[in-house]
Structure 1
Amino acid sequence: MMPGLTVLMPVYNAERFLREAIDSILQQTYKDFDFLLIDDGSTDSSVTIIQSYQDPRIRFYQNEKNLGISATLNKGIELAETDYIARMDADDVSYPDRLEKQLHYLQTNPDCAMVSSFARIIDEGGQFVRQDRMKSEHFYYNLTFICWIYHPTVMYRKDSVKEVGMYTATYSEDFELFWQLSRRYRIHTLPATLLDYRETSQSLHQVLKKEEYEQAQQAQVLRNLRYYAGNSYTIPISFIECYRHNFQPLLAEKKLNRIVACVKELDYITQSILNTANPNLERAPVKLASYYKRRYIISYLTNQLPLLQKLMLLYQLETFESLIKQLKVTLKRFVYR
């Protein structure tokens, strides 16, 4: 009988955390899976560690040379013999019921192409860093600007992923795939923490290839915006970075009118999203997600401005009640100094 799903794990010089990652999959409550491990030219003891396991569910392949993450994942998708594929990274830890819960969701929701989960962020020593919990209904709106989905938390349908071309980007490959899936199929995030995501000094997107990933994500965000606002749509890079919650480029311009224009442009983008048909579009959640994003941006930027500019910004962007509230807070701080 064919297994119910494939767990796909690319491996590259992962000896430090590899055994813990492998064990977390082999100890799942759901047992009926192929565990597809592909080594991408490791020069450490990763291969020896993998070969020390005798579990019959493990299928091990080695690339003749280093192909990179996207090509290795695409190879794994082609090798997978099941309808469902769960992604896993060689330095993370899946919780015991992860596969069971995600497979159940996909099987009972045939219109959904990909399901993810919350993640608990840990450091290299396994110590708690933070807990990320973003509501599933807010993911669609925010995926326009930021990849909120942790790659090793996802399980997807093989046919759907192949339909959108699999992994097509050299950098920020997960953001690209999730976006392409979200244009054609419904995606969902389970409101449960099912994985420990490890931040390490060898992280490609945070350390080793940070600049390349940043540039790729800027281009992806602009492409995403054009999906909603038209192929000729363009905005300054400082606006894109602000929507990605990197506020320094916009603040460095030291122009209040640019901040106002940036926030008003976000309002236009939100309306464009609401006007574009999509299998993930639900109007009320999009409006709520946009409200939270707008409030967060305004709150952060006003806190970086001198008092007079702060009040001028609120006057141009907020309601009269918000302005009065800010004035009261400011006066209280002045009186009690």
Structure 2
Amino acid sequence: MLEKKIPLVSVVVPNYNYARYLRARIDSILNQTFTDFELILLDDLSTDESLSVFEQYKTNEHVSHIVVNEKNSGTPFKQWMKGISLARGKYVWIAEADDLAEPDFLLRCVNLAEQHKDFSFCYVGSLLIDSKGDITRGRDVNKWGRREKNRESYFDGKSFAIHNLYWRNYVLNASGVLFRREYALNLEDSGFMDMRYCGDWLFWFLMSMQGGVGEIYCNLNYFRQHTAKVTVSSAVSGGGIKEGLYVVHRMEQILDSLGSYKKHLRRGRFYRGIKRSSVSFERKQELFEELFKILGGTVSDYRLERMNQILRIFNPMLLTPKRDRL
């Protein structure tokens, strides 16, 4: 086990039935060029061979904890907080069990973090991989547009929330993020652990309210896509839309400079998302009712959002999420 020296970084691997990916994941952590870290392995009562994989690493000098739940937590975010509570490092990396990282992920993130006294979190670019580990080609999942690759940006946290997170969760995957443990500990009673789908969106928003946010425009994280992902369940059930309504409502309670036009556009985007979702007609009606109850959104907001999409072609100053993004 690791000596009592306090590491700069705590790496938390929350796992549930990902034995088939675990060795590759843990090896991608142990192969980091930055080595001042402890490794915390968490299992949410897996029914596969996960524990036997963990057992193979128990004598590694970086491993400080191997913790197995007596009962399944029911949500990944409770495992996040368990890892954060066990962590001793100044910074935490939630390295999801089915993802992978480039060897210089930690080095790039720590270097950025140590440059800013108010640092809350930073995140890197991600590439999607399939169940075999092959890169999925196609859309720009990072939504970087024409940003110069391999450089870095650092933003005031509140501005990042207003211009970026309000529209969507641009922090694609927790595995691509390094964050300050001290700030994360403040969020234990924030409600993010009660969510199943959008707890990360709420978490990053509340983290941004405490300090600065960095972006590293380099693909250093590999985000695995497969049918067991929570995001797949979210799309099928519509649960992500419902939780997203609560996250945006929470933002509007805290942020004081959003503007009414922007809020109407945001409601219109929710309306469009529900309208185009693959859930049943009955479920769509339930979600429309939730939209009205939580945010007051109506079909008029949807029409405004659609008109805005047309007029933006002729008016380069018209507000859109892409133009608003920092």
Scaled by the length of structure 1, the TM-score of the pair is 0.70
Aligned partners of 1:113 and 1:160 also within 8 Å: yes
Residues 188 and 41 of structure 1: CA distance in aligned 2, closer, same or farther (over 3 Å): same
- What's the % identity of the aligned pairs? 22
**Number of the residue aligned with 1:329:** none
Equivalent residue runs for 1:93-172 within 5 Å: 93-129=100-136, 130=138, 131-135=140-144, 140=161, 141-149=163-171, 150-165=173-188, 167-171=192-196, 172=198
- Cα distance in 2 for residues equivalent to 1:289 and 1:188: 27
- Which of 241, 262, 284 pairs up with 1:214? 241
**Alignment gaps of 5+ in structure 2:** 145-152, 278-283, 289-297, 310-315
- Which of 42, 66, 89 pairs up with 1:82? 89
Equivalent residue runs for 1:187-266 within 5 Å: 187-207=213-233, 210-228=237-255, 239-241=268-270, 248=276, 259-262=302-305
Aligned partners of 1:218 and 1:237 also within 8 Å: no
Residues 120 and 102 of structure 1: CA distance in aligned 2, closer, same or farther (over 3 Å): same
Aligned partners of 1:204 and 1:210 also within 8 Å: no
- Residues 186-205 of structure 1 deviation map (CA, whole Å, 9 limit, x = unaligned): 11111111111001110012
Q: CA deviation at 1:288?
A: 8.4
What is the SS of the residue equivalent to 2:223?
Answer: strand
Between Structure 1 and Structure 2, whose CA radius of gyration is higher? Answer: 1
Residues 109 and 179 of structure 1: CA distance in aligned 2, closer, same or farther (over 3 Å): same
Equivalent residue runs for 1:273-288 within 5 Å: none
What is the SS of the residue equivalent to 1:90?
Answer: coil
Aligned partners of 2:241 and 2:274 also within 8 Å: no
Q: CA deviation at 1:105?
A: 1.0
Q: CA deviation at 1:228?
A: 3.8
Scaled by the length of structure 2, the TM-score of the pair is 0.72
Residues 38 and 146 of structure 1: CA distance in aligned 2, closer, same or farther (over 3 Å): same
Aligned partners of 1:139 and 1:148 also within 8 Å: no
What is the SS of the residue equivalent to 1:43?
Answer: coil
- Cα distance in 2 for residues equivalent to 1:264 and 1:86: 42
Residues 290 and 24 of structure 1: CA distance in aligned 2, closer, same or farther (over 3 Å): farther
- Cα distance in 1 for residues equivalent to 2:206 and 2:216: 20
Residues 289 and 55 of structure 1: CA distance in aligned 2, closer, same or farther (over 3 Å): farther
More displaced 10-residue stretch of structure 1: 129-138 or 10-19: 129-138
Residues 290 and 47 of structure 1: CA distance in aligned 2, closer, same or farther (over 3 Å): farther
**Number of the residue aligned with 2:31:** 27
- Cα distance in 2 for residues equivalent to 1:144 and 1:72: 25
Matched, 1:56 2:61: yes
Q: CA deviation at 1:207?
A: 2.4
Q: Which structure exhibits the higher relative contact order, with contacts defined as CA atoms closer than 8 Å and separated by 6 or more residues?
A: 2
* Partner amino acid, structure 2, of 1:55: N
- Cα distance in 2 for residues equivalent to 1:294 and 1:33: 38
- Which of 42, 46, 49 pairs up with 1:45? 49
- Which of 66, 69, 72 pairs up with 1:66? 72
- Residues 101-124 of structure 1 deviation map (CA, whole Å, 9 limit, x = unaligned): 111111111212101110011111
- Cα distance in 2 for residues equivalent to 1:9 and 1:289: 43
* Partner amino acid, structure 1, of 2:304: A
- Residues 135-156 of structure 1 deviation map (CA, whole Å, 9 limit, x = unaligned): 4669641310211102111111
* Partner amino acid, structure 1, of 2:23: R
**Number of the residue aligned with 1:178:** 204
* Partner amino acid, structure 2, of 1:170: M
- Cα distance in 2 for residues equivalent to 1:29 and 1:237: 42
Q: CA deviation at 1:56?
A: 1.9
Q: CA deviation at 1:82?
A: 1.4
Residues 45 and 51 of structure 1: CA distance in aligned 2, closer, same or farther (over 3 Å): same
What is the SS of the residue equivalent to 2:175?
Answer: helix
Q: CA deviation at 1:134?
A: 3.5
Aligned partners of 2:105 and 2:221 also within 8 Å: yes
More displaced 10-residue stretch of structure 1: 183-192 or 44-53: 183-192
What is the SS of the residue equivalent to 1:16?
Answer: helix
* Partner amino acid, structure 2, of 1:201: T
Residues 60 and 188 of structure 1: CA distance in aligned 2, closer, same or farther (over 3 Å): same
Residues 120 and 76 of structure 1: CA distance in aligned 2, closer, same or farther (over 3 Å): same
- Cα distance in 2 for residues equivalent to 1:33 and 1:198: 24
Aligned partners of 1:13 and 1:44 also within 8 Å: yes
Residues 70 and 292 of structure 1: CA distance in aligned 2, closer, same or farther (over 3 Å): closer
Aligned partners of 2:271 and 2:299 also within 8 Å: no
Residues 108 and 127 of structure 1: CA distance in aligned 2, closer, same or farther (over 3 Å): same
- Cα distance in 1 for residues equivalent to 2:318 and 2:301: 23
Aligned partners of 2:101 and 2:220 also within 8 Å: yes
Q: CA deviation at 1:47?
A: 0.7
For the aligned residues, what is the CA RMSD? Answer: 3.5
- Cα distance in 1 for residues equivalent to 2:321 and 2:168: 14
- Residues 208-236 of structure 1 deviation map (CA, whole Å, 9 limit, x = unaligned): 674322211122123323444699x8869
